[in-house]
Structure 1
Amino acid sequence: MTNLPPLPRQIALDLGHIPKPSLDNFIATGNENLSAILKSLQNSWLQTDHSTDPLRVDMRMIHAWGVSGSGRTHILQAMYLKGIEQGIDAFLLNQDSTPDDWRIAGKSVEDQSNSSVILCVDDIDHLDEFSQGALFRLHNLIKESTKQALITTSLLPPANLQLREDLRTRLAWGLVFQMHALSDGEKLQALQQAALARGLNLSTEVAPWLLRHFHRDMPSLMSLLEALDAYSLETKRAITLPLVKEMLAQKN
Structure 2
Amino acid sequence: MNTPSLPRQFALDISHTPKASLENYLPGKDRALVETLKILCNSWENNSTKGSSNPLNHRWMYWWGPEGSGRSHLLEAVAHAAERTGLDCFSLNPSEPVSWVRLEEKLLVLVQSEAASVITVDDVDRLDDRLIGALFRILNEVQASRNIHIFIAGNAAPANLTLREDLRTRLGWGLIFQTQLLDDDEKIQALEQAAKARGLVLSPDVLPWLLNRFYRDMPNLMALIDALDAYSLETKRAVTLPLVRELLQPK
The bucket for the TM-score relative to the shorter chain is 0.7 to 0.9
Q: Residue 179 of structure 1 corresponds to which residue in structure 2?
A: 179
Gaps of 5+ in 2: 1-11
Q: Residue 43 of structure 1 corresponds to which residue in structure 2?
A: 42
User: How far apart are residue 199 of structure 1 and its match?
Assistant: 9.1
User: How far apart are residue 71 of structure 1 and its match?
Assistant: 1.4
Q: Does 1:219 align with 2:222?
A: yes
Q: Residue 105 of structure 1 corresponds to which residue in structure 2?
A: 103
Q: Does 1:57 align with 2:60?
A: no
Q: 1:193 to 1:78 in 2, by over 3 A?
A: closer
Q: Taking structure 2 as the reference length, what is the TM-score of the superposition?
A: 0.77
Task: Assess if the C-alpha contact under 8 Å between 2:94 and 2:124 holds in 1.
Answer: yes
Q: Distance in 2 between matches of 1:180 and 1:242?
A: 32
Give the superposed CA RMSD. 3.4
Q: Residue 4 of structure 2 corresponds to which residue in structure 1?
A: none
Per mean C-alpha deviation after superposition, the further-off stretch among 150-159 and 18-27 is 18-27
Q: Residue 144 of structure 2 corresponds to which residue in structure 1?
A: 144
Query: What is the aligned residue count?
Result: 237
Q: Distance in 2 between matches of 1:90 and 1:196?
A: 29
Q: Distance in 1 between matches of 2:233 and 2:22?
A: 23
State, as a whole percentage, how many aligned pairs show the same letter.
Answer: 41
Q: Distance in 1 between matches of 2:196 and 2:162?
A: 45
User: How far apart are residue 214 of structure 1 and its match?
Assistant: 6.7
Task: Assess if the C-alpha contact under 8 Å between 1:14 and 1:223 holds in 2.
Answer: no
Q: Distance in 2 between matches of 1:83 and 1:22?
A: 11
Q: Distance in 1 between matches of 2:228 and 2:248?
A: 16
Q: Distance in 1 between matches of 2:174 and 2:60?
A: 5
Gaps of 5+ in 1: 1-12
Q: 1:31 to 1:52 in 2, by over 3 A?
A: closer
Q: Distance in 2 between matches of 1:197 and 1:17?
A: 10
Task: Assess if the C-alpha contact under 8 Å between 2:18 and 2:198 holds in 1.
Answer: no
Q: Distance in 2 between matches of 1:73 and 1:158?
A: 17
Q: Distance in 2 between matches of 1:34 and 1:59?
A: 18
Q: Residue 6 of structure 1 corresponds to which residue in structure 2?
A: none
